[in-house]
Amino acid sequence: MPKASLKIVSDKTKIADAPAIEIRGLSLVFATADTPVIALSNIDLSIRRGEFVSFIGPSGCGKTTLMRVIADLEQQTEGEITVNGVSPREARQARAYGYVFQAPALYAWRSVLANVTLPLEIMNLPRAERQARAAKYLEMVGLTGFERKFPWQLSGGMQQRVSIARALSFEPQLLLMDEPFGALDEITRDHLNEHLIRLWEQTRKTVVFVTHSIAEAVFLSSRIVVMSPRPGRIIDVIDNSLPGKRTLDIRDTSEFLAVAHRVREALYAGRSYAD
Amino acid sequence: MSVAGLTQGTRPGSGAWRRLAEGRTLPVLTVVLIILALWYVAAVGLNAPQVRDRLNRSGQNWSTSDLVAATWSMERPVLPTPDQIAAEFYKSVFATPITSKRSLLYHAYVTASATVVGFLLGSLLGILLAVGVVHQRTLDRSLMPWIIASQTIPILAIAPMIIVVLGNFGFIGLLPKSIISMYLCFFPVAIGMAKGLRSPDPLQMDLMHSYNASRGQVFWKLRWPASVPFLFASLKVAIAISLVGAIVGELPTGATAGLGARLLSGSYFGQTVQIWSALLMAALLGAGLVYLVALIERVVLARMGMRR
């Protein structure tokens, strides 16, 4: 009996200071018509609360799939994963994460405001609270004054900012961002990168960020996970503690270039023994 | 397109005439005039044998212009001329009280009410079927073949059955006709609506999944609004064929009222002018109903912020 109660106590403490994401020996194999595709092979990764972690790698390295497993949009075939100390499914049911997709995925029949309040409606929050939160997060992404516009009236960058406000609006502890700026031009992208890093500094949420761009990964992240395809796996995890405040100018410093160089080396190493 | 725009840009002409030439009015008007001209020629050709017979029997001398004039003013021509149809149409629409059985408006009203009731029933049935088919794989596999098969049976074959069976239960008049309309018009609604309910892209669905939304929430907040443009596209088809159904439903009953009855009695008595004016009325009614649905579509989509 005392044993059991002890176990509950330790479970509780485990949840309280559990890492944001804990992955052990995770693999995912897609059964296709001819040969099974190994999308993820033996992934081990631990992400602490408040970290900004980027997954970088060439197409087909499984970075999006790994993110979808974290979000319970895909299930692993082997291994274990916990999100906030519980299974991804329970985390999803507890609305523990906000997901920003490659495309804005806004609903065309909803105004900017109504798009941001969508998750809040689903959570049955009272109307006043919905409006207040939407106003707060639209301001945070610099879209105050656009509440009544419809998605087609906005540029691609603005649409993606709406989708970020939507992910923030229900105040999840964890933000999953899957190449959110991939389809945008470089100027808009730079601008949104700077926006995002300020946002992270303000809120200190755990962010998992998928990208193709080395510069983006080095600029944003506190840790960079380099992945490689066939089979999708982690080949290096690079700590990135650039000194000082991160502004776009930092990209010309030698420290920045050194980290970018390490990432590039790792990517090349991964490629050489994949083909 | 761009070349035409350029040449017109360099040659400023009179505003009204240019609008006419560049817009759709002039081409449409030209086609209408050509059709009318061909119609009068065809009326001469088709009506001439009868007229020639009559003129010959009368024993008088007659010229070609006599022949042409006579073919354009017969009482029961094979092909009445547009002016005869217009005159009959005017007489039976504007010069006859609406309560009279000779009023074309009265007949149009009878057919229109069966059309609208059938359209509403059919649309409701179509939407319900689509919702079922989209949410239940078993329903998709068991119902879909029947939905498609139902439309391979000629409506002319099944209409008398429906009327006889329903008449047996004491249903006559509006309801059997509406059922036939419903039978025709649920189909495009079911197909279009099913497509619309499945139209949200995977990301939009994933988003709902990530919010842990219930099936009901996914339906009302995503599937239903996404399907609205598809629904209206089907409704425009549905209302047009609903009218066909109502008219077909009036044929085998020997109905005494409605555009179908008007067509039938016209053909019994060789009243071709009456048939053509009923036809004109049916065409106008169809166009009017489709226009009405299109108007509602415009308002609804504008309110939903959808670009059109």
The pLDDT tens digits for A164-189 are: 999 989 888 899 999 998 888 888 88
Tell me if chain A has a CB within 8 Å of the CB of B201: yes
ipTM over 0.90: no
Tell me if chain A has a CB within 8 Å of the CB of B58: no
Does A164 share its domain with A190? no
Residue ending a domain, among A122, A151, A171, is A171
Does A202 share its domain with A264? yes
Q: Which residues of B touch A97 (CB under 8 A)?
A: 210
Using CA coordinates, name the residue in chain B closest to A120.
B211
Using CA coordinates, name the residue in chain A closest to B306.
A109
CB A175 within 8 A of CB A205: yes
Does A201 share its domain with A269? yes
Tell me if chain A has a CB within 8 Å of the CB of B18: no
The total domain count for chain B is: 2
Best mutation target among B199, B204, B207, B304 (most A Cβ atoms within 10 Å) is B207
Q: Do B210 and A123 touch (CB under 8 A)?
A: no
Shortest CB distance from B210 goes to which of A71, A108, A111?
A: A71
Does A141 share its domain with A248? no
Question: Is residue A150 included in any domain, yes or no?
Answer: yes
Question: Is residue A101 included in any domain, yes or no?
Answer: no
Q: What is the 3-state secondary structure (H, E, C) of chain B?
A: CHHHHHHHHHCCCCHHHHHHHHCCHHHHHHHHHHHHHHHHHHHHHHHHHHHHHHHHHHCCCCCHHHHHHHHCCCCCCCCCCHHHHHHHHHHHHHCCCCCCCCCHHHHHHHHHHHHHHHHHHHHHHHHHHHHHHHHCHHHHHHHHHHHHHHCCCCHHHHHHHHHHHHHHCCCCCHHHHHHHHHHHHHHHHHHHHHHHHCCCCHHHHHHHHHCCCCHHHHHHHHHHHHHHHHHHHHHHHHHHHHHHHHHHHHCCCCCCCCHHHHHHHHHHCCCHHHHHHHHHHHHHHHHHHHHHHHHHHHHHHHHCCCCC
Confidence of residue A2 (pLDDT cuts 50, 70, 90): very low
Domain of A163 in residue numbering reads as: 106-171
What pTM was estimated for this model as a whole?
A: 0.82
Sequential pLDDT tens for chain B (308 residues): 344 444 444 455 566 777 776 777 888 899 999 999 999 999 999 999 988 888 888 878 888 888 899 899 888 899 999 999 999 999 998 888 888 888 899 999 999 999 999 999 999 999 999 999 999 989 889 988 898 888 888 888 888 888 888 888 888 888 899 999 999 999 999 999 999 999 999 999 999 999 999 999 999 999 999 999 999 999 999 999 999 999 998 887 666 788 998 888 888 888 899 999 999 999 999 999 999 999 999 999 999 888 65
Q: Looking at the predicted structure, is the pLDDT value of residue A244 above 80?
A: no
Tokens, residue B166? 């329903």
Q: Which residues of B touch A119 (CB under 8 A)?
A: 211
Does B163 share its domain with B279? yes
Tell me if chain A has a CB within 8 Å of the CB of B307: yes
Best mutation target among A122, A123, A154 (most B Cβ atoms within 10 Å) is A122
Domain of B48 in residue numbering reads as: 2-79
Residue ending a domain, among A153, A171, A189, is A171
pLDDT average, residue stretch A152-173: 90
Tell me if chain A has a CB within 8 Å of the CB of B213: yes
Does A205 share its domain with A166? no
Q: Which residues contact A160 (CB under 8 A, 6 or more apart)?
A: A100, A104, A180, A181, A184, A192
pLDDT at residue A17 in the model? 63
Question: Is residue A226 included in any domain, yes or no?
Answer: yes
Q: Say which CATH number the domain at A61 has.
A: 3.40.50.300
pLDDT at residue B14 in the model? 63
Does B154 share its domain with B281? yes
Does A140 share its domain with A218? no
Residue A245 — φ and ψ, nearest 5°? -75, 135
Question: Is residue A218 included in any domain, yes or no?
Answer: yes
Does B68 share its domain with B117? no
Does A91 share its domain with A207? yes
Does A157 share its domain with A247? no
pLDDT average, residue stretch A23-33: 88
Question: Is residue B96 included in any domain, yes or no?
Answer: no
Does A248 share its domain with A166? no
Give Cα separations from B295 to A183, B117, B301 (angstroms): 37, 19, 10
DSSP category for residue A119: H
Tell me if chain A has a CB within 8 Å of the CB of B210: yes
Does A58 share its domain with A181? yes
Confidence of residue A38 (pLDDT cuts 50, 70, 90): confident
The total domain count for chain A is: 2
Question: Is residue B115 included in any domain, yes or no?
Answer: yes
pLDDT at residue B307 in the model? 63
Residues A6 and B291: their CA atoms lie apart, in Å, by: 74
Does B141 share its domain with B284? yes
Burial per residue of A219-246, b for 16 or more beta-carbon CB atoms within 10 angstroms, e otherwise:
bbbbbbbbbbbebbbbbbebebebeeeb
Does B213 share its domain with B146? yes
Q: Looking at the predicted structure, is the pLDDT value of residue A198 above 80?
A: yes
Q: Say which CATH number the domain at B115 has.
A: 1.10.3720.10
Distance to chain B for A160, nearest Cα, Å? 14
Tell me if chain A has a CB within 8 Å of the CB of B209: yes
Q: Which residues of A touch B210 (CB under 8 A)?
A: 71, 73, 92, 97-99
Does B294 share its domain with B226? yes
Does A70 share its domain with A178? yes
Does B57 share its domain with B175? no
Does A269 share its domain with A176? yes
pLDDT at residue A3 in the model? 43
Confidence of residue A4 (pLDDT cuts 50, 70, 90): very low
